[in-house]
Amino acid sequence: MLCIRTGVALLALTALAACGTSTTSTNTGADAIDDASTATDATGTDAATGTDATTDTKDVATKDVPAPSCASRVGAYAIDGTCTGGASSITFGCMLAKDCELTWVGDYRAWSGPLKGNDFTLASADGSENFTGSFDSASTGSYHYDNGGLTCDATIAYVDPTAADSLCCDVLTNDCKSGDACVVVQETVNTVPVLTTGCVPLAASPTAEGAACTQSATETGCAVGSLCVRNTGSTGADGTCQHLCQQVSDCKGGQQCDIVADAPRAGLCDKACAPFADEAGGDACPSGQNCLPTLISGAKYERAISTACGTAGTATDGLKCGNGVACGLGLVCVQSACTPICDTKHACAKGTCTGFGLANASTAPAGLGYCK
């Protein structure tokens, strides 16, 4: 089963769910979040082999699948497209259909609207982002995205899962078949690793939440509603069953809901940390860990910046990071380079303290950012 290493900064991978992230200098600071997430231990997972962490490359399915209907789950889709301003399309999305209403879920954002035959029109809750598209076969389709300043055109193709019995399940309701549990899994879609949710076989005697767990190649060993989170620094399969969440109200004891990369509404209950030793507002990280910015989910799925402990690497200021190369203490990976963390009490030695493009949560130090 998938073991996520404790302390990984679980930042969402995409700044705009329909269009990906821009490479231009005019893009918002949210891109820094994306780069930080991909730098913290390869999208936040240990990429362990097993039922829900395959390293095999899975292209889009070649077999036929049921066409979308008003009463069926649509499933997982690979996305291939381009956007204005140098942005690239995201690579993956989850679509659900119920009572002729189609919902597209990407990390913590969702767009909904009517499904009429093969055509769909979707919008965000505030109406600022819109999709129009259609399915042109049982397993393929296309869409056009518009947020008023950025447009994207892409094709979509159904993904046949390899890491789970099915993809795009709900970690809270566990809408899986009997004997399966909904957890975070890793798929490789057209050579790109993606984190999503998937239904995997549940062990006959699952481990209780909070107890030690062991990775398995064939099943998930934690009780429904929890995920095996690998102990920091571990090279083995040991970990702890940690509570899954979708928003802060799902967590107890003052914990926050750390968003797990771009998995559809999946997070882990955890506590904030203190990035600077002389500053209150969070727990000190264990030895060998770094206090890093992370995305959390609020009371209404709103995203904000907080902090979480992550494995510290050895890369120094200005050196390349990502793809398994982690930054040293006090540094965060932004746009594939290590740079110092800063806030209102700790100014940058060089450059300007720049925010991550979203509001800081109350658990984050005032003015938390990175030196740019």
Mean pLDDT value of segment 269-298:
86
Which residues, at least 6 apart from 143, have a Cβ–Cβ distance to it below 8 Å?
A: 18, 120, 131, 132, 133, 134, 153, 154, 156
Mean pLDDT value of segment 314-341:
91
Q: Quick one: which of 226, 106, 107, 117 has its CA closest to 154?
A: 106
Tokens 């932004």 correspond to: 334
For the entire predicted model, the pTM comes to 0.78
Q: How far is Cα 227 from Cα 10, in angstroms, rounded to an integer?
A: 14
Q: What integer pLDDT is reported at residue 175 of this predicted model? A: 92
Tell me the two tokens of residue 46.
Answer: 């240990």
Most confident of 6-10, 86-90, 252-256: 252-256
Cα–Cα–Cα angle for 362, 327, 371, nearest 5°? 55
Q: What integer pLDDT is reported at residue 191 of this predicted model? A: 83
Q: What integer pLDDT is reported at residue 333 of this predicted model? A: 93
Task: Judge whether 65 and 59 are in contact, CB under 8 Å.
Answer: no
Mean pLDDT value of segment 254-267:
88
Tell me the two tokens of residue 110.
Answer: 């969702």
Q: What integer pLDDT is reported at residue 100 of this predicted model? A: 85
Task: Judge whether 76 and 157 are in contact, CB under 8 Å.
Answer: no
Q: What integer pLDDT is reported at residue 39 of this predicted model? A: 28
Buried b (16+ CB within 10 A) or exposed e, 252-268: eeebbbbbbbbbbbbbb
> Using one digit for the tens of pLDDT, what is the confidence trace for 203-238?
999 999 999 998 777 889 999 999 998 765 566 667
Q: Quick one: which of 227, 245, 244, 247 has its CA closest to 304?
A: 247
Split at pLDDT 50, 70, 90, the class of 30 is very low
Q: Which of 8-17, 191-200, 325-334 has the lowest mean pLDDT?
A: 8-17
pLDDT above 70: percentage of residues in the chain = 77
Q: What integer pLDDT is reported at residue 69 of this predicted model? A: 64
Q: Quick one: which of 264, 245, 247, 263 has its CA closest to 111?
A: 264
Q: What integer pLDDT is reported at residue 145 of this predicted model? A: 93
Enclosing H/E stretch for 37: helix 30-39
Q: What integer pLDDT is reported at residue 31 of this predicted model? A: 26
Which residues, at least 6 apart from 233, have a Cβ–Cβ distance to it below 8 Å?
A: 288, 311
Q: How far is Cα 37 from Cα 242, in angstroms, rounded to an integer?
A: 20
Which residues, at least 6 apart from 117, have a Cβ–Cβ distance to it below 8 Å?
A: none
Mean pLDDT value of segment 285-306:
89
Burial label for 132, CB within 10 Å (0-12, 13-18, 19+), is middle
> Using one digit for the tens of pLDDT, what is the confidence trace for 108-158?
788 999 988 889 999 998 899 999 999 888 789 999 999 988 999 999 999
Average pLDDT value for the chain: 78
Which residues, at least 6 apart from 302, have a Cβ–Cβ distance to it below 8 Å?
A: none
Query: How many CB atoms within 10 Å of residue 222?
Result: 28
Mean pLDDT value of segment 361-365:
92
Split at pLDDT 50, 70, 90, the class of 177 is very high
Q: How far is Cα 146 from Cα 344, in angstroms, rounded to an integer?
A: 36
Q: What integer pLDDT is reported at residue 53 of this predicted model? A: 31
Which residues, at least 6 apart from 178, have a Cβ–Cβ distance to it below 8 Å?
A: none
CA 326 to chain centre: 18
Residue 172 has pLDDT above 90, yes or no: yes
